[in-house]
Structure 1
Amino acid sequence: MNNILIDYNCIDFHKLLFLKGKQIGLSDQESYILNIMLLLHEQGVSLLTPQMIAKYCTSDMKAIDQAMLKFVNERYLDRHNGILDFKPLYRRLLDEKVEEVNQVNLIERFEDAFGRPLSQTEIEIINSFKRDGYDDQMIVDALLEAVRSNVLNFRYIEKILSNWARYGKKMRNKPIENTTNEAFSDEVKNLEWWKV
Protein backbone atom coordinates (compact mmCIF):
# COMPACT_ATOMS: atom_id res chain seq x y z
CA MET A 1 0.00 0.00 0.00
CA ASN A 2 2.79 2.44 0.92
CA ASN A 3 4.49 1.85 -2.45
CA ILE A 4 1.37 3.13 -4.17
CA LEU A 5 1.37 6.20 -1.93
CA ILE A 6 5.03 6.82 -2.76
CA ASP A 7 4.62 6.27 -6.50
CA TYR A 8 1.66 8.65 -6.78
CA ASN A 9 3.16 11.35 -4.51
CA CYS A 10 0.25 11.18 -2.07
CA ILE A 11 2.41 12.09 0.93
CA ASP A 12 4.17 15.38 1.64
CA PHE A 13 7.59 14.03 2.57
CA HIS A 14 8.95 17.52 3.25
CA LYS A 15 6.60 17.98 6.21
CA LEU A 16 7.05 14.40 7.30
CA LEU A 17 10.85 14.84 7.25
CA PHE A 18 10.64 17.89 9.51
CA LEU A 19 8.30 16.08 11.91
CA LYS A 20 10.12 12.74 12.02
CA GLY A 21 13.74 13.74 11.33
CA LYS A 22 14.83 13.32 14.95
CA GLN A 23 13.00 10.00 15.23
CA ILE A 24 14.90 8.52 12.27
CA GLY A 25 18.28 9.70 13.60
CA LEU A 26 18.86 13.04 11.87
CA SER A 27 19.98 16.31 13.38
CA ASP A 28 18.10 19.51 12.55
CA GLN A 29 20.87 20.53 10.17
CA GLU A 30 20.84 17.13 8.43
CA SER A 31 17.04 17.24 8.11
CA TYR A 32 17.28 20.67 6.50
CA ILE A 33 20.03 19.57 4.08
CA LEU A 34 18.08 16.42 3.18
CA ASN A 35 14.96 18.51 2.63
CA ILE A 36 16.87 20.75 0.20
CA MET A 37 18.14 17.65 -1.62
CA LEU A 38 14.60 16.28 -1.80
CA LEU A 39 13.26 19.56 -3.18
CA LEU A 40 16.00 19.77 -5.84
CA HIS A 41 15.39 16.14 -6.77
CA GLU A 42 11.68 16.86 -7.23
CA GLN A 43 12.63 19.79 -9.47
CA GLY A 44 14.47 17.38 -11.78
CA VAL A 45 18.07 17.98 -10.66
CA SER A 46 19.75 14.60 -11.02
CA LEU A 47 23.30 15.40 -9.89
CA LEU A 48 23.31 16.92 -6.41
CA THR A 49 26.61 18.36 -5.18
CA PRO A 50 27.57 20.06 -1.91
CA GLN A 51 28.21 23.29 -3.85
CA MET A 52 24.67 23.23 -5.20
CA ILE A 53 23.15 22.64 -1.76
CA ALA A 54 25.33 25.37 -0.21
CA LYS A 55 23.45 27.92 -2.34
CA TYR A 56 20.32 27.27 -0.26
CA CYS A 57 21.65 27.02 3.30
CA THR A 58 24.19 28.56 5.66
CA SER A 59 25.95 25.29 6.50
CA ASP A 60 29.59 25.13 5.51
CA MET A 61 30.75 22.83 2.73
CA LYS A 62 32.37 20.34 5.11
CA ALA A 63 29.12 19.86 7.07
CA ILE A 64 27.12 19.42 3.87
CA ASP A 65 29.66 16.95 2.52
CA GLN A 66 29.64 14.91 5.74
CA ALA A 67 25.84 14.91 5.80
CA MET A 68 25.63 13.70 2.20
CA LEU A 69 28.07 10.87 2.93
CA LYS A 70 26.03 9.91 6.00
CA PHE A 71 22.82 9.78 3.95
CA VAL A 72 24.33 7.28 1.55
CA ASN A 73 26.45 5.28 4.01
CA GLU A 74 23.60 4.87 6.53
CA ARG A 75 21.07 4.14 3.77
CA TYR A 76 18.85 7.17 3.99
CA LEU A 77 19.45 7.34 0.24
CA ASP A 78 20.60 4.80 -2.34
CA ARG A 79 22.68 5.32 -5.44
CA HIS A 80 22.13 3.49 -8.67
CA ASN A 81 24.69 4.23 -11.39
CA GLY A 82 25.33 7.67 -9.98
CA ILE A 83 21.70 8.71 -9.48
CA LEU A 84 20.27 9.22 -6.00
CA ASP A 85 17.21 7.21 -5.01
CA PHE A 86 15.07 8.63 -2.18
CA LYS A 87 12.89 5.54 -1.63
CA PRO A 88 14.86 4.33 1.45
CA LEU A 89 14.17 7.73 3.06
CA TYR A 90 10.48 7.46 2.21
CA ARG A 91 10.33 4.00 3.75
CA ARG A 92 12.03 5.21 6.94
CA LEU A 93 9.60 8.10 7.21
CA LEU A 94 6.68 5.68 6.78
CA ASP A 95 8.16 3.39 9.48
CA GLU A 96 8.89 0.60 7.00
CA LYS A 97 11.94 -1.53 7.35
CA VAL A 98 14.76 -0.63 4.96
CA GLU A 99 16.33 -3.80 3.62
CA GLU A 100 19.98 -4.25 4.49
CA VAL A 101 22.50 -4.28 1.69
CA ASN A 102 25.87 -5.95 1.98
CA GLN A 103 28.24 -3.06 2.42
CA VAL A 104 31.41 -3.26 0.41
CA ASN A 105 34.53 -2.14 2.23
CA LEU A 106 36.05 -0.03 -0.51
CA ILE A 107 39.26 0.69 1.38
CA GLU A 108 40.00 -3.02 1.77
CA ARG A 109 39.19 -3.72 -1.88
CA PHE A 110 41.53 -0.96 -3.07
CA GLU A 111 44.30 -2.02 -0.67
CA ASP A 112 44.01 -5.62 -1.90
CA ALA A 113 44.19 -4.49 -5.53
CA PHE A 114 47.07 -2.07 -4.98
CA GLY A 115 48.92 -4.44 -2.64
CA ARG A 116 49.63 -1.71 -0.08
CA PRO A 117 47.87 0.50 2.45
CA LEU A 118 46.20 3.58 0.98
CA SER A 119 47.27 7.09 1.85
CA GLN A 120 44.84 9.60 3.33
CA THR A 121 44.73 11.40 -0.03
CA GLU A 122 43.75 8.17 -1.80
CA ILE A 123 41.02 7.50 0.77
CA GLU A 124 39.72 11.02 0.14
CA ILE A 125 39.65 10.28 -3.62
CA ILE A 126 37.48 7.20 -2.93
CA ASN A 127 35.17 9.38 -0.82
CA SER A 128 35.00 11.87 -3.68
CA PHE A 129 33.85 9.04 -5.97
CA LYS A 130 30.99 8.39 -3.56
CA ARG A 131 30.18 12.10 -3.31
CA ASP A 132 30.06 12.28 -7.09
CA GLY A 133 27.20 9.82 -7.03
CA TYR A 134 28.85 6.48 -7.81
CA ASP A 135 27.60 3.54 -5.78
CA ASP A 136 29.99 1.10 -4.12
CA GLN A 137 29.47 -1.66 -6.67
CA MET A 138 30.17 0.67 -9.58
CA ILE A 139 33.41 1.82 -7.90
CA VAL A 140 34.47 -1.79 -7.31
CA ASP A 141 33.66 -2.67 -10.94
CA ALA A 142 35.79 0.27 -12.13
CA LEU A 143 38.63 -0.92 -9.89
CA LEU A 144 38.35 -4.45 -11.35
CA GLU A 145 38.34 -2.98 -14.86
CA ALA A 146 41.55 -1.09 -14.03
CA VAL A 147 43.13 -4.24 -12.59
CA ARG A 148 42.25 -6.24 -15.72
CA SER A 149 43.71 -3.46 -17.88
CA ASN A 150 46.82 -3.47 -15.69
CA VAL A 151 46.52 0.29 -15.04
CA LEU A 152 46.34 0.81 -11.29
CA ASN A 153 45.92 4.51 -10.70
CA PHE A 154 43.07 6.66 -9.48
CA ARG A 155 42.91 8.87 -12.57
CA TYR A 156 42.24 5.83 -14.74
CA ILE A 157 39.53 4.62 -12.34
CA GLU A 158 38.00 8.10 -12.32
CA LYS A 159 37.92 8.15 -16.14
CA ILE A 160 36.24 4.73 -16.20
CA LEU A 161 33.56 5.97 -13.79
CA SER A 162 32.94 9.19 -15.71
CA ASN A 163 32.71 7.30 -19.03
CA TRP A 164 30.25 4.82 -17.53
CA ALA A 165 28.17 7.68 -16.14
CA ARG A 166 28.16 9.41 -19.52
CA TYR A 167 27.79 6.47 -21.93
CA GLY A 168 26.45 3.62 -19.80
CA LYS A 169 28.32 0.88 -18.04
CA LYS A 170 30.20 -1.26 -20.54
CA MET A 171 33.03 -3.38 -19.24
CA ARG A 172 35.73 -3.77 -21.85
CA ASN A 173 37.46 -6.63 -20.09
CA LYS A 174 34.55 -8.82 -19.09
CA PRO A 175 35.38 -11.92 -17.08
CA ILE A 176 35.91 -14.99 -19.22
CA GLU A 177 32.99 -17.33 -18.88
CA ASN A 178 33.77 -20.93 -18.12
CA THR A 179 32.81 -23.24 -20.92
CA THR A 180 31.25 -26.46 -19.80
CA ASN A 181 31.32 -29.83 -21.45
CA GLU A 182 27.67 -29.35 -22.40
CA ALA A 183 28.74 -27.02 -25.21
CA PHE A 184 30.53 -29.87 -27.00
CA SER A 185 28.93 -32.71 -28.89
CA ASP A 186 29.18 -36.29 -27.65
CA GLU A 187 31.53 -37.06 -30.52
CA VAL A 188 34.02 -34.46 -29.33
CA LYS A 189 33.63 -35.42 -25.67
CA ASN A 190 34.24 -39.09 -26.35
CA LEU A 191 37.08 -38.59 -28.84
CA GLU A 192 40.04 -40.79 -27.96
CA TRP A 193 42.76 -38.39 -29.01
CA TRP A 194 45.56 -40.89 -28.41
CA LYS A 195 44.20 -43.11 -31.20
CA VAL A 196 44.02 -40.35 -33.82
Structure 2
Amino acid sequence: MNNELFERWIQQGSLSIPKILLTHYRKVGLTDEECMLILQLHSFIEEGNVFPTPSVLSERMHIDVNKIASLLRVFIQRGFLSIESFEDKERSVYAEKYSLLPLWKRLLGELGEEQHGERTAAKKERKENIFLMFEKEFGRPLSPMEIETVNIWLDEDGHDSELIAAALKEGVLSGKLNFRYIDRILFEWKKTGVKTIEQARVHGEKFRTRQRNVPASADAQNGRTEGLSLPSYNWLDS
Protein backbone atom coordinates (compact mmCIF):
# COMPACT_ATOMS: atom_id res chain seq x y z
CA MET A 1 0.00 0.00 0.00
CA ASN A 2 1.22 3.53 -0.82
CA ASN A 3 2.57 5.17 2.34
CA GLU A 4 1.21 8.63 1.46
CA LEU A 5 -2.26 7.18 0.92
CA PHE A 6 -1.98 5.26 4.18
CA GLU A 7 -0.98 8.42 6.07
CA ARG A 8 -3.85 10.35 4.50
CA TRP A 9 -6.34 7.70 5.68
CA ILE A 10 -5.00 8.06 9.21
CA GLN A 11 -5.14 11.87 9.10
CA GLN A 12 -8.70 11.85 7.75
CA GLY A 13 -9.81 9.47 10.49
CA SER A 14 -10.61 6.66 8.04
CA LEU A 15 -8.55 4.31 10.19
CA SER A 16 -9.10 4.21 13.94
CA ILE A 17 -5.48 3.40 14.74
CA PRO A 18 -5.55 3.78 18.56
CA LYS A 19 -8.57 1.46 18.77
CA ILE A 20 -6.90 -1.15 16.55
CA LEU A 21 -3.73 -0.84 18.63
CA LEU A 22 -5.54 -1.28 21.95
CA THR A 23 -7.44 -4.28 20.60
CA HIS A 24 -4.55 -6.11 18.92
CA TYR A 25 -1.27 -4.92 20.49
CA ARG A 26 -0.72 -8.21 22.31
CA LYS A 27 -1.03 -10.14 19.06
CA VAL A 28 2.01 -8.34 17.63
CA GLY A 29 4.02 -8.90 20.82
CA LEU A 30 3.74 -5.53 22.55
CA THR A 31 3.56 -5.29 26.34
CA ASP A 32 1.22 -2.91 28.17
CA GLU A 33 4.08 -0.50 28.79
CA GLU A 34 5.25 -0.63 25.17
CA CYS A 35 1.70 -0.05 23.97
CA MET A 36 1.43 3.06 26.14
CA LEU A 37 4.70 4.38 24.74
CA ILE A 38 3.41 3.82 21.20
CA LEU A 39 0.23 5.74 22.07
CA GLN A 40 2.24 8.64 23.50
CA LEU A 41 4.48 8.67 20.44
CA HIS A 42 1.43 8.66 18.17
CA SER A 43 -0.05 11.52 20.17
CA PHE A 44 3.09 13.65 19.78
CA ILE A 45 3.19 12.99 16.04
CA GLU A 46 -0.49 13.97 15.74
CA GLU A 47 0.27 17.19 17.63
CA GLY A 48 3.05 18.07 15.17
CA ASN A 49 6.08 16.96 17.18
CA VAL A 50 7.23 14.32 14.72
CA PHE A 51 10.52 13.52 16.49
CA PRO A 52 9.95 13.72 20.25
CA THR A 53 13.02 13.09 22.39
CA PRO A 54 13.19 10.34 25.00
CA SER A 55 13.18 13.00 27.72
CA VAL A 56 9.93 14.54 26.42
CA LEU A 57 8.31 11.11 26.24
CA SER A 58 9.62 10.29 29.72
CA GLU A 59 7.93 13.36 31.21
CA ARG A 60 4.54 12.08 30.09
CA MET A 61 5.08 8.51 31.17
CA HIS A 62 7.27 8.80 34.27
CA ILE A 63 9.62 6.20 32.82
CA ASP A 64 13.38 6.53 32.91
CA VAL A 65 14.86 8.33 29.87
CA ASN A 66 17.34 5.54 29.21
CA LYS A 67 14.56 2.97 29.17
CA ILE A 68 12.53 5.10 26.75
CA ALA A 69 15.55 5.34 24.43
CA SER A 70 16.06 1.57 24.71
CA LEU A 71 12.42 0.84 23.88
CA LEU A 72 12.55 3.11 20.84
CA ARG A 73 15.58 1.20 19.54
CA VAL A 74 13.73 -2.07 20.16
CA PHE A 75 10.73 -0.79 18.19
CA ILE A 76 13.00 -0.01 15.25
CA GLN A 77 14.70 -3.41 15.46
CA ARG A 78 11.36 -5.23 15.57
CA GLY A 79 10.03 -3.31 12.58
CA PHE A 80 7.38 -1.34 14.48
CA LEU A 81 9.00 2.08 14.08
CA SER A 82 11.11 3.78 11.43
CA ILE A 83 13.01 7.04 11.18
CA GLU A 84 12.48 8.94 7.94
CA SER A 85 14.03 12.05 6.46
CA PHE A 86 11.81 14.84 5.18
CA GLU A 87 12.20 18.37 3.88
CA ASP A 88 11.20 21.06 6.38
CA LYS A 89 10.15 23.71 3.87
CA GLU A 90 9.66 26.39 6.51
CA ARG A 91 13.28 26.18 7.58
CA SER A 92 14.60 24.95 4.22
CA VAL A 93 16.39 22.05 5.85
CA TYR A 94 16.09 18.29 5.95
CA ALA A 95 14.99 16.80 9.26
CA GLU A 96 14.04 13.45 10.72
CA LYS A 97 10.72 12.11 11.91
CA TYR A 98 9.34 8.98 13.47
CA SER A 99 6.92 6.89 11.44
CA LEU A 100 4.61 4.29 12.94
CA LEU A 101 3.40 3.10 9.54
CA PRO A 102 5.26 -0.24 9.87
CA LEU A 103 3.34 -0.99 13.07
CA TRP A 104 -0.01 0.16 11.66
CA LYS A 105 0.47 -2.14 8.67
CA ARG A 106 1.38 -5.03 10.95
CA LEU A 107 -1.76 -4.43 13.02
CA LEU A 108 -3.98 -4.24 9.96
CA GLY A 109 -2.42 -7.46 8.73
CA GLU A 110 -3.37 -9.12 12.01
CA LEU A 111 -6.88 -7.71 11.71
CA GLY A 112 -7.14 -8.97 8.14
CA GLU A 113 -6.04 -12.47 9.15
CA GLU A 114 -8.60 -12.48 11.96
CA GLN A 115 -11.39 -11.45 9.61
CA HIS A 116 -10.22 -14.02 7.07
CA GLY A 117 -10.42 -16.68 9.76
CA GLU A 118 -13.96 -15.60 10.63
CA ARG A 119 -14.98 -15.70 6.96
CA THR A 120 -13.40 -19.14 6.56
CA ALA A 121 -15.31 -20.46 9.58
CA ALA A 122 -18.57 -19.00 8.27
CA LYS A 123 -17.94 -20.49 4.83
CA LYS A 124 -17.25 -23.89 6.38
CA GLU A 125 -20.49 -23.69 8.36
CA ARG A 126 -22.49 -22.80 5.24
CA LYS A 127 -20.94 -25.73 3.38
CA GLU A 128 -21.84 -28.13 6.18
CA ASN A 129 -25.40 -26.79 6.16
CA ILE A 130 -25.62 -27.44 2.41
CA PHE A 131 -24.63 -31.07 2.89
CA LEU A 132 -27.20 -31.47 5.65
CA MET A 133 -29.88 -29.93 3.45
CA PHE A 134 -29.10 -32.34 0.59
CA GLU A 135 -29.13 -35.34 2.91
CA LYS A 136 -32.46 -34.24 4.37
CA GLU A 137 -34.09 -33.86 0.95
CA PHE A 138 -32.59 -37.09 -0.42
CA GLY A 139 -33.40 -38.95 2.78
CA ARG A 140 -29.96 -40.57 2.93
CA PRO A 141 -26.25 -39.78 3.35
CA LEU A 142 -24.57 -38.42 0.24
CA SER A 143 -22.16 -40.61 -1.67
CA PRO A 144 -18.48 -39.56 -1.99
CA MET A 145 -19.12 -38.59 -5.63
CA GLU A 146 -22.12 -36.46 -4.65
CA ILE A 147 -20.08 -34.74 -1.92
CA GLU A 148 -17.36 -34.03 -4.49
CA THR A 149 -19.98 -32.57 -6.86
CA VAL A 150 -21.18 -30.13 -4.19
CA ASN A 151 -17.56 -29.16 -3.46
CA ILE A 152 -16.99 -28.50 -7.17
CA TRP A 153 -20.08 -26.28 -7.29
CA LEU A 154 -18.76 -24.27 -4.36
CA ASP A 155 -15.01 -24.17 -4.91
CA GLU A 156 -14.48 -24.47 -8.66
CA ASP A 157 -17.68 -23.18 -10.23
CA GLY A 158 -18.03 -20.44 -7.61
CA HIS A 159 -21.73 -20.94 -6.95
CA ASP A 160 -22.99 -19.26 -3.79
CA SER A 161 -24.22 -21.70 -1.13
CA GLU A 162 -27.61 -19.98 -1.03
CA LEU A 163 -28.04 -20.44 -4.78
CA ILE A 164 -27.13 -24.12 -4.48
CA ALA A 165 -29.79 -24.46 -1.80
CA ALA A 166 -32.26 -22.66 -4.10
CA ALA A 167 -31.39 -25.00 -6.98
CA LEU A 168 -32.00 -27.97 -4.70
CA LYS A 169 -35.42 -26.57 -3.77
CA GLU A 170 -36.16 -26.05 -7.47
CA GLY A 171 -35.32 -29.71 -8.06
CA VAL A 172 -37.67 -30.71 -5.24
CA LEU A 173 -40.40 -28.48 -6.67
CA SER A 174 -39.99 -29.94 -10.13
CA GLY A 175 -39.97 -33.52 -8.83
CA LYS A 176 -36.50 -34.10 -10.29
CA LEU A 177 -34.39 -34.75 -7.25
CA ASN A 178 -31.08 -35.69 -8.85
CA PHE A 179 -27.69 -34.06 -9.15
CA ARG A 180 -27.74 -33.84 -12.94
CA TYR A 181 -30.90 -31.74 -12.88
CA ILE A 182 -29.59 -29.47 -10.11
CA ASP A 183 -26.33 -29.05 -12.02
CA ARG A 184 -28.30 -27.99 -15.10
CA ILE A 185 -30.19 -25.41 -13.04
CA LEU A 186 -26.95 -23.95 -11.69
CA PHE A 187 -25.43 -23.92 -15.17
CA GLU A 188 -28.48 -22.13 -16.58
CA TRP A 189 -28.48 -19.56 -13.78
CA LYS A 190 -24.81 -18.82 -14.28
CA LYS A 191 -25.29 -18.48 -18.03
CA THR A 192 -28.20 -16.06 -17.60
CA GLY A 193 -26.49 -14.03 -14.87
CA VAL A 194 -28.58 -15.16 -11.91
CA LYS A 195 -26.59 -14.28 -8.78
CA THR A 196 -29.15 -13.70 -6.03
CA ILE A 197 -32.03 -15.60 -4.47
CA GLU A 198 -34.46 -12.98 -5.77
CA GLN A 199 -33.17 -13.36 -9.33
CA ALA A 200 -33.44 -17.15 -8.99
CA ARG A 201 -37.01 -16.83 -7.75
CA VAL A 202 -38.01 -14.61 -10.69
CA HIS A 203 -36.25 -16.92 -13.13
CA GLY A 204 -38.05 -19.94 -11.66
CA GLU A 205 -41.45 -18.26 -11.80
CA LYS A 206 -40.96 -17.31 -15.46
CA PHE A 207 -39.95 -20.88 -16.28
CA ARG A 208 -43.00 -22.33 -14.55
CA THR A 209 -45.27 -19.78 -16.24
CA ARG A 210 -43.96 -20.89 -19.62
CA GLN A 211 -44.56 -24.51 -18.62
CA ARG A 212 -48.18 -23.75 -17.68
CA ASN A 213 -48.76 -22.09 -21.04
CA VAL A 214 -47.50 -25.06 -23.09
CA PRO A 215 -50.44 -26.35 -25.24
CA ALA A 216 -52.00 -29.67 -24.24
CA SER A 217 -50.81 -31.29 -27.49
CA ALA A 218 -47.24 -30.30 -26.71
CA ASP A 219 -47.72 -31.72 -23.21
CA ALA A 220 -48.84 -35.00 -24.68
CA GLN A 221 -45.90 -35.10 -27.08
CA ASN A 222 -43.52 -34.53 -24.20
CA GLY A 223 -45.14 -37.24 -22.09
CA ARG A 224 -46.75 -34.81 -19.66
CA THR A 225 -50.10 -35.39 -17.99
CA GLU A 226 -52.85 -33.11 -19.32
CA GLY A 227 -53.95 -30.46 -16.87
CA LEU A 228 -50.73 -30.72 -14.83
CA SER A 229 -50.53 -27.94 -12.23
CA LEU A 230 -47.28 -26.99 -10.54
CA PRO A 231 -47.38 -26.25 -6.82
CA SER A 232 -46.40 -22.83 -5.56
CA TYR A 233 -43.20 -22.52 -3.57
CA ASN A 234 -42.06 -19.93 -1.05
CA TRP A 235 -38.49 -19.11 -2.09
CA LEU A 236 -37.91 -17.03 0.98
CA ASP A 237 -38.66 -19.96 3.25
CA SER A 238 -35.43 -21.52 4.52
Question: What's the TM-score once normalised by structure 1's chain length?
Answer: 0.44
Question: What's the TM-score once normalised by structure 2's chain length?
Answer: 0.37
- Specify the structure having the higher radius of gyration (Cα): 2
More helix by share: 2
